[in-house]
Amino acid sequence: MPTPIGLAAGFDKDCNVLRSLLNLGFGFVSGGTITLASRPGNPKPRVIRLPNEKALINSMGFPGRGLEPAIKRLQRTQGLKERILVSIAGTIEDEIFDCFHRVQSLAAGVELNISSPNTAGLRIFHETGRLRGLIEGLAAEKTVPLFVKLPPWSRGDADRREILKLAETAIDAGVDGLIVANTRPIESNQLKVGRGGLSGEPLFENTELMIADVQAMTNGDIGIIACGGISTSKQVWKLLASGASAIQLYTSFIYEGPGLPARLNKGLVRLMDAAGIASIDDISGEPPNIK
């Protein structure tokens, strides 16, 4: 990728504007999450803005037109496919396999989303046996890298070991990378369904801790994409220094506007120049203290 700064899945659910998003300065973008059949998503209201925290709570539930329209749009972006990931999901294996078979030739990699807190039925793949069977089946037929998007966890919480076990299972079964992590489950009576996923600035500190956890577990043997609360070049630096290969953002793009990816790119280059390094592979420690 020309830059490690990417756009997370969920923004362009039907792969309508991937080319235009890349032109804003993203190194890569994620289309989807795509499901086999069209879905209306959850009832509204399903998005809450928290401007004082630069955060969102959403309960979207994978609204989209389904696989076939997305395929047609992806076919029109083949000149840029090396910078496009496609996120897929389903509640049964056959749905996921059908999506995987159709999209993998049209993208640089495929993200398997098993962790959206807003979609009923996904938690079945949090059972390690079910997850292993799914990933082994996909890995046997993959021609591009396969990523799994994990649920979030907190250091010291009881679910930390459970989710790291999911990560270990996914790696053993044949994934090439992990996306760390999805939105944080949260309840809210402002949402029609009463619960959703928190994203944005409040998540960054935990994202950094999660990247350190996964890096320690994998020893750098797989790709790690950091996702959650990222809005500044110094935060990008910190996550790359902690073991991430790349980062994804979404909520900060909404609050900061279309100029954000270009600003992050320029800021990261300034930090690297100040540190006297020419490659993101050499990023380590705390970012230089520049204005």
Q: What is the DSSP string of 65-94?
A: --HHHHHHHHHTTGGGGGGEEEEE--SSHH
- What is the CATH classification number for the domain harbouring 108? 3.20.20.70
Residue 286 placed within a domain = no
Residue 282 placed within a domain = no
Residue 169 placed within a domain = yes
Residue 202 placed within a domain = yes
State how far the Cα of 234 lies from the Cα of 136, in Å rounded to an integer. 37
Band (158; pLDDT cuts 50, 70, 90): confident
State how far the Cα of 37 lies from the Cα of 52, in Å rounded to an integer. 37
Predicted TM-score (pTM) above 0.85: yes
Residue 60 placed within a domain = yes
List residues with catalytic annotation.
116
- On the 0-12 / 13-18 / 19+ scale of CB atoms within 10 A, 100 is buried
Band (290; pLDDT cuts 50, 70, 90): confident
Residue with tokens 């059972």: 127
Q: Which of 128, 125, 149 has the alpha carbon at shortest distance from 197?
A: 149
Residue 147 placed within a domain = yes
pLDDT in tens, 216-257: 999 888 999 999 999 999 999 999 999 999 999 999 999 999
Integer angstrom CA distances of residue 37 from 22, 70, 90, 113, 200? 27, 11, 9, 16, 29
First vs last C-alpha separation in the chain:
27
Residue 179 placed within a domain = yes
Would you state the structure tokens that stand for residue 159, as one six-digit string?
């679910």
Domain of residue 60 covers 5-262
Give pLDDT, residue 59: 96
Residue 289 placed within a domain = no
Band (23; pLDDT cuts 50, 70, 90): very high
Structural domains counted in the chain:
1
